[in-house]
Copies of this chain bind each other. A is one copy, B any other.
Amino acid sequence: MDGEDTAGRLIEATQELLWERGYVGTSPRAVQRRAGVGQGSMYHHFGGKPDLARAAVHRSAEEMQARAEADLSGAGGALGRVRAYLTRERAVLRGCRVGGLAQDPDVVADPGLRAPLQETFDRLRARLAEVLEEGRADGEFRPDLDPAGTAATVVAVVQGGYVLARSAGHPGPFHEAVDGLLRLLDAHAAEPDTRP
C-alpha cells in the first residue's frame, strides 16, 4: 500500500524503463539506479529481470485498462464515448506502454510477460464492442455495423497511429489516422451527418 517502499519503487522504475527502452533495452542495473536501490536489494524482492518485468507489465496493463474504461463508461452516446477514447490526450511520440512491448521477441516468447498484453487488448476490444453494440441497439448506428470487427479496427488504429507518429517524428499521422476513422464511423451513424 505504501508507494514509497523498495519493491514499489523498483516496479515504477521498471515501468518507466520498459516504456522508454523496451524489455531487451532495460537492464536490472539501470532499474536499480533509477529506483535508487542496491543490487542485493533488488534480488531480494524479485527473482530477476523477467520476474521484475512481469510485475511492471502487469501494473502498466491494469493502469491502461482503467484509463480506457474511464473513457468508455463516461457520459454520452456510444459514438461520443468511442470518440472520447480515440481523442483522449496522449503522449503520442512515447507510444503505448503496453502495445509497444509486443514488438519485443523476449516478451511475446514469455507467457507471463505476454499475458497482460493479450488480456489488455482482449478486454479493450470486448468493451468497445459492447459500446458499439449498445449504439446499434439504440439506433445510433446503422444496423449493419459489425461491433466486434469495428472494435478491433478502433484499437488497431490507435496502436498503428503510434507507429506512424514515431516513424514520422511528429504526432501528425496519429491524429490523421484517428480523424480518418472517426469520419468513417460518422458515416455509419444512422442519420446522415450534416454538420458544416
Contact = CB atoms under 8 A, between A and B. Distances in A.
A180 interface: yes
Interface string A91-121: 0000110111011111010000010011011
A188 interface: yes
A105 B23 CA distance: 12
Interface residues of A, number: 59
Label chain A's interface by main secondary structure.
helix
Given A164-B152, A180-B152, A21 B24 contact: yes
Contact of A161 (B20, B160, B168, B181): B160
Given A24-B22, A24-B25, A177 B156 contact: yes
Interface stretch (A42-50, A71-79, A141-149): A141-149
A163 interface: yes
Contacts of A166: 102-103, 108
A159 to B, nearest CB: 4
Contacts of A146: 179-180, 183
A153 B184 contact: yes
Contacts of A114: 167, 169
Contact of A105 (B21, B98, B142): B21
Nearest to A187: B188
B156 A163 contact: yes
A193 B105 CA distance: 41
Given A21-B24, A25-B104, A181-B184, 9 more contacts: A22-B104, A118-B169, A125-B173, A148-B180, A150-B183, A152-B179, A156-B158, A156-B181, A159-B164
